Amino acid sequence: MEFNNIYQGLINGTEKLALVGLGYVGMPIAVEFAKHIKVIGFDINEKRVNEYANGIDSTNEVGEAIKDTTVDFTADPTRLKEARFIVVAVPTPVNDDNSPDLRPVEGASRTVGQNLAPGTIVVFESTVYPGVTEDICIPIIEKESGLKCGVDWKIGYSPERINPGDRVHTLTSIRKVVSGMDDESAKEIKKVYDIVIKAGTFPVSNIKTAEAVKVVENSQRDINIAFMNEIAIICDKLKIDTDEVLQGMNTKWNALGFKPGLVGGHCIGVDPYYLTNVSEKLGYHSQIILNGRQVNDSMGAFVADAAIKEMIEAGMAPKKATVVIMGLTFKENCPDTRNSKVVDIINRLKEFDIQPVVTDSWADAEVAKQEYGVELTAWEDIPKADCVIIAVGHNEYRSLSMMQIKELFKSDLPDEEKVLIDVKSLYRMDELKASKMRFWRL
What is the pTM for the complete model shown? 0.91
Q: Do domains 6-205 and 226-441 have the same CATH topology?
A: yes
Which residues, 6 or more positions from 151, have their beta carbon under 8 angstroms from its beta carbon? 1
What does the alpha-carbon distance between residue 171 and residue 87 come to, in Å, rounded to a whole number? Answer: 14
Contact assessment for residue 49 and residue 22, using Cβ atoms and an 8 Å cutoff: yes
Nearest to 17 by CA among 98, 72, 93: 72
What does the alpha-carbon distance between residue 374 and residue 357 come to, in Å, rounded to a whole number? Answer: 9
Tens-digit pLDDT profile for residues 338-364? 889 999 999 999 999 999 999 999 999
CB atoms within 10 A of CB 119: 17
Task: Provide the residue-wise pLDDT of the chain in tens; the chain has 442 residues.
Answer: 889 899 999 999 999 999 999 998 899 999 999 999 999 999 999 999 999 999 988 887 887 888 899 999 999 999 999 999 999 999 999 888 989 999 999 999 999 999 999 999 999 999 999 999 999 999 999 999 999 999 999 999 999 987 766 666 778 899 999 999 999 999 999 999 999 999 999 999 999 999 999 999 999 999 999 999 999 999 999 999 999 999 999 999 999 999 999 998 778 888 999 999 999 999 999 999 999 999 999 999 999 999 999 999 999 999 999 999 999 999 999 898 988 999 999 999 999 999 999 999 999 999 999 999 999 999 999 999 999 999 999 999 999 999 999 999 999 999 999 999 999 999 999 999 999 999 999 9
Per-domain boundaries in the chain? 6-205, 226-441
Residues recognised as catalytic: 267
Amino acid 167: pLDDT? 66
Amino acid 166: pLDDT? 67
CA distances (Å), 351 to each of 252, 310, 339, 348, in order?
42, 17, 20, 5
Amino acid 268: pLDDT? 86
Q: What CATH number does domain 226-441 carry, 3.40.50.720, 3.40.30.10, 3.40.1180.10, 3.30.420.10?
A: 3.40.50.720
Amino acid 64: pLDDT? 82
For the structural domain made of 6-205, what CATH number should be given? 3.40.50.720
